[in-house]
């Protein structure tokens, strides 16, 4: 492993600004031929396997909307480097934490959610499951409010009628099938998408944020209460009967296309959610600021 110092060049890319750094990776904003990109430098053997998988997935999804775009990859001083588009953004978790009550107004939440949904539909159409849909793996431009799905390091090629079996993903967003060690398919992403939708509109996670699988399983028996009750709201998905979770979708014959069709029937001017009845019996619990500060996600 070799750490990369700032303000150097790597294969014609200038590295003027470091965006993030962990024990396994460094990410820089970089410049080549007057264009800006992002370069992720993989520093450890443990991270290389995921990086190679992520590169292969992004190459397959190149040119698709609402998915971070792959440019190229190469080796530098025994490190894998891969270049993606530079997308001036923060994570969706960071964006929510900056909002009043850590939640979005209904129109904005619906706009962002629809675009994430389109990106997930593309992933599934290409016979892939993401397996780690969460707030930290969705980037968003704060001005245009356009999301981009990223974090494909544990994604998997899987046909719609196939099942897989392994524990992956962040516990707060993980579906019941994975938590119970049972086979699962692309619908695990739909569960995670439901948790994202809940966070967008409620400012917290539906089942809290636990560090162990056992505690997360206990939380599935109850839904954390939002920090407020919605007023003057309209059900976002009349045909789904619940907004909370998109979560029970994965237990029935339900997929991303069905949800997309339902959302497209909603009048934008009527997208204030009527979910007061859904939440009125729940008590407050953990909010997104707590999660961000404790690094649970």
pLDDT at 120 over 80: yes
Confidence band, pLDDT 50/70/90 cuts, at residue 119: very high
Question: Which residues on adjacent β-strands are paired with residue 128?
Answer: 157
Confidence band, pLDDT 50/70/90 cuts, at residue 32: very high
pLDDT digits (tens, 9 = 90+) for 7-19: 577 888 998 888 8
Q: Which residues touch 204 (CB under 8 Å, ≥6 apart)? A: 102, 198, 224, 226, 227, 285, 286, 287, 288
Hey, where are the domains in the chain? 9-85, 90-293
pLDDT (mean) for 88-101: 91
Instruction: Locate 31 and state its tokens.
Output: 């410049």
Confidence band, pLDDT 50/70/90 cuts, at residue 86: very high
Q: What is the pLDDT of residue 151?
A: 92
Rounded Cα distance, 249 and 229, in Å:
24
Nearest alpha-carbon partner for 103 in 227, 219, 6? 227
pLDDT digits (tens, 9 = 90+) for 163-181: 776 766 777 888 777 777 7
CATH-assigned architecture of domain 9-85 = 2-Layer Sandwich (3.30)
pLDDT digits (tens, 9 = 90+) for 209-234: 656 666 666 666 555 545 444 443 33
Rounded Cα distance, 107 and 268, in Å:
7
Burial of 50 (0-12, 13-18, 19+ CB in 10 A): middle
Rounded Cα distance, 57 and 51, in Å:
10
Q: What is the pLDDT of residue 271?
A: 40
Instruction: Locate 145 and state its tokens.
Output: 């409010």
Instruction: Locate 51 and state its tokens.
Output: 């990086």
pLDDT (mean) for 269-285: 36
pLDDT (mean) for 286-297: 41
CATH-assigned architecture of domain 90-293 = Orthogonal Bundle (1.10)
pTM to 2 decimals? 0.76
pLDDT at 128 over 50: yes
pLDDT over 90 for what percent of the chain?
Answer: 32
Q: What is the pLDDT of residue 245?
A: 42
Nearest alpha-carbon partner for 125 in 4, 256, 35? 256
- Ranges of beta strands (E only) in 127-275 are 128-129, 138-140, 147-149, 156-157
Q: Give how far the C-alpha of residue 119 lies from the chain's centroid of Cα atoms, to the nearest Å.
A: 10
Please give the full DSSP string across 271-287, using - where no structure is assigned. Answer: -S---HHHHTT--B--B
């Amino acid at each position: 492993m070799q750490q990369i110092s700032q303000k150097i060049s790597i294969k014609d890319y200038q590295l003027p600004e470091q965006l993030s750094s962990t024990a396994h990776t460094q990410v820089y904003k970089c410049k080549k031929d007057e264009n800006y990109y992002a370069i992720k430098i993989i520093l450890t053997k443990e991270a290389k396997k995921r990086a190679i998988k992520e590169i292969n997935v992004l190459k397959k999804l190149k040119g698709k909307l609402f998915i971070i775009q792959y440019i190229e990859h190469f080796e530098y001083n025994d490190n894998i480097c891969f270049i993606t588009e530079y997308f001036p953004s923060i994570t969706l978790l960071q964006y929510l934490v900056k909002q009043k009550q850590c939640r979005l107004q209904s129109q904005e939440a619906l706009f962002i959610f629809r675009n994430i949904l389109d990106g997930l539909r593309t992933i599934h159409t290409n016979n892939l499951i993401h397996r780690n849909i969460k707030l930290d793996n969705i980037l968003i431009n704060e001005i245009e409010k356009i999301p981009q799905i990223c974090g494909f390091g544990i994604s998997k090629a899987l046909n719609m009628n196939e099942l897989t079996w392994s524990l992956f993903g962040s516990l707060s967003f993980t579906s019941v099938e994975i938590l119970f060690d049972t086979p699962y398919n692309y619908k695990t992403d739909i569960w995670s998408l439901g948790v994202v939708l809940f966070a967008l509109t409620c400012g917290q996670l539906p089942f809290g944020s636990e560090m162990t699988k056992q505690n997360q399983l206990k939380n599935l028996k109850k839904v954390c209460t939002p920090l407020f009750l919605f007023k003057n709201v309209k059900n976002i998905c009349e045909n789904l009967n619940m907004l909370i979770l998109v979560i029970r979708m994965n237990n029935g014959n339900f997929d991303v296309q069905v949800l997309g069709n339902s959302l497209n029937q909603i009048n934008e001017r009527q997208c204030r959610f009527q979910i007061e009845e859904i939440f009125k019996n729940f008590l407050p619990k953990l909010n997104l600021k707590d999660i961000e500060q404790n690094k649970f996600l």
